[in-house]
A and B are shown apart, each in its own frame.
Chain A
């Protein structure tokens, strides 16, 4: 356990050294680490995906994927809140001398909330549209990595968060199957109103 903690800390310190050497890199990390850039980009990507597809069948598959991703996001957030009641891990910037480009969050570092919700979106859309899954996965990796570089999360927090996100996506898929035919009715209503 101590070795993992040391490895975590040394990885954060090593990655954080990259900050301060180039204003362009600092600004890029400043944008990526934000609470807004990656989530907004992911949400808008899914919004756009809702309207794509060469025909009704392909479009319905993608729209079901968007529904699964949205539900997975909710599940991941809930799972992180629940796990935060089980234990608390302090953030890297509390113990390490690092340059933090975000701010100083006060909630538990483990599991990483950002990794959980972004992986939930990526894993949620993956079965329906792999290219979108890849784009969202890339955004999730960049978001998680920027937070490790900034000393906001340890790498193990991000890995655990990714696991939570993947589990949330699996759970969302299962729940949507249990809820049938409600998702089908929702999409039918959407089609009637020319929204799906």
Chain B
């Protein structure tokens, strides 16, 4: 166990810091469909706290400057950790913000294309409206 790579810690770092990054990016760009909180400043604070907490937890919990033939990570493991952590952060952000603001975009007949849709609606609603025509054609 002592020589197992700390891939789980690294993925957790990317997951939590990814949540924080998404909160900050969404707050700065008015993407309400990705925000956990209504207030912009509170979202910026939450994002900053998540990033700082994730970094502190990762670097203070154990020595990280170790080679990849002990507990350190090679480039492929870092890439995998990044994809898993950030991908998970996006999924949780999309689901949690939809649960927190379930009516966001419900009253609008059509929502803007691309990321601009997240200014008016939450991600599951946008994705459903984008994919619904394809499902209907299949039936």
Q: Is the CB of A194 within 8 A of B29?
A: no
> In the complex, what residues of B have CB within 8 A of residue A48's CB?
21-22, 24-25
Please give the distance in Å from A152's CB to the nearest CB on chain B: 10
Smallest CB-CB separation from B114: which chain A residue? A191
Do A194 and B123 touch (CB < 8 A)? yes
Which B13-60 residues have C-beta < 8 A from chain A?
A: 13-14, 17-18, 21-22, 24-26, 28-29, 31, 34, 51, 55, 58-59
Q: Is the CB of B29 within 8 A of A36?
A: no
Establish whether residues A30 and B17, one from each chain, have CB atoms under 8 Å apart when the complex forms: no
Closest residue of chain A to B86, judged by CB? A47
In the complex, residue of chain A having the shortest beta-carbon distance to the beta carbon of B89: A47
A186 within 8 A of B: no
Of A31, A52, A77, which contacts B25 at CB under 8 A?
Answer: A52
* Cβ contact within 8 Å between A101 and B65: yes
B102 at the interface (CB under 8 A from A): no
**CB-based contact A36/B21 at 8 Å:** no
Chain B residues lying within 8 Å of A195, measured Cβ to Cβ, are 115
- Shortest A15–chain B CB gap in Å is 18
**Please, which residues of chain B bring their CB within 8 A of the CB of A43?**
14, 82, 86
**B residues 86-139 with Cβ under 8 Å of A?**
86, 113-118, 123, 126-127, 130
Q: Decide: B67 and A51 in contact? CB cutoff 8 A.
A: no
27 A-B pairs with C-beta separation under 8 A: A30-B65, A34-B59, A34-B65, A36-B10, A37-B55, A39-B78, A40-B14, A43-B14, A43-B86, A44-B17, A44-B18, A44-B51, A47-B22, A47-B86, A48-B22, A50-B25, A51-B29, A51-B31, A51-B115, A55-B116, A101-B65, A105-B67, A191-B114, A191-B115, A192-B130, A194-B130, A196-B114
9 tightest A-B contacts by CB?
Answer: A191-B114, A51-B25, A48-B25, A194-B126, A44-B21, A103-B67, A48-B21, A194-B117, A102-B65
